[in-house]
A and B are shown apart, each in its own frame.
Chain A
Amino acid sequence: EVQLVQSGAEVKKPGESLKISCKGSGYSFTNYWIGWVRQMPGKGLEWLGIIYPGDSNTKYSPSFQGQVTISADKSISTAYLQWSSLQASDTAMYYCARLDAVVGRTILWYFDLWGRGSLVTVSS
């Protein structure tokens, strides 16, 4: 089965570090970009960044550059999202999603496969 399996819910205190994971299976993990998307409580979707596990090429949204770190370990088909010092405002559901593309007159990119999400709660 083609799927992305995310790590479980986390409860952390402000200032703590955290690394959440997203493991792909059922497809060639190194051949697709993986993106991370944030959803704060009751709010919409925000894109954080993407990584190409084949060579760890990473691109960040300007809004999240320097706030989070995206990495991947292709040997275990896993992508990561990490924080060095969490804040209460990081409380959200975080989704990983596979980026697919159709090449025609232009390249059309879209997130075709999503993980179930990892809930991160930061509270003192």
Chain B
Amino acid sequence: EIVMTQSPATLSVSPGERATLSCRASQSVSNNLAWYQQKPGQAPRLLIYGASTRATGLAARFSGSGSGTEFTLTISSLQSEDFAVYYCQHYHAWPPMYTFGQGTKLEIK
């Protein structure tokens, strides 16, 4: 079973600054990696799929990178609405598994 590990657990950043969130897979997952944002009291929202493709309508300040076992979600200039919990997720073809990381809470510094 592939384990997804996100770091840090909590990231404190000031508005306007850059935030870098990491996700590591216990074995190579190629580019089958998605990122989701979840705000308090809301459902998760797709941000990135295929490790680097932005979801429709997503602001350009969000970018994803990486391949294999190391992935990064970067938010170039934090806006107030970006403070939330972020999850990475991997899909495994067989047996089918949709494994989420434990999440990174991005909070205002």
Contacts and interface: CB of A to CB of B under 8 A. Distances in A.
Interface size class of A (residues with CB under 8 A): 20 to 34
B34 A110 contact: yes
B103 A115 contact: no
A108 B97 contact: no
A90 interface: no
Contacts of A116: 42-43
Interface residues of B, number: 28
A62 interface: yes
A114 B45 contact: yes
A106 B98 CA distance: 16
Contact of A110 (B38, B46, B93, B99): B46
A41 to B, nearest CB: 13
Contacts of A62: 95
Interface of B: 30-32, 34, 36, 38, 42-46, 49-50, 53, 55, 87, 89, 91, 93, 95-103
Given A102-B53, A106-B31, A116-B42, 10 more contacts: A37-B44, A44-B102, A46-B100, A107-B93, A110-B49, A110-B50, A110-B91, A111-B36, A112-B46, A114-B43
Interface of A: 35, 37, 44-47, 50, 59, 61-62, 95, 97, 102, 104, 106-112, 114-117
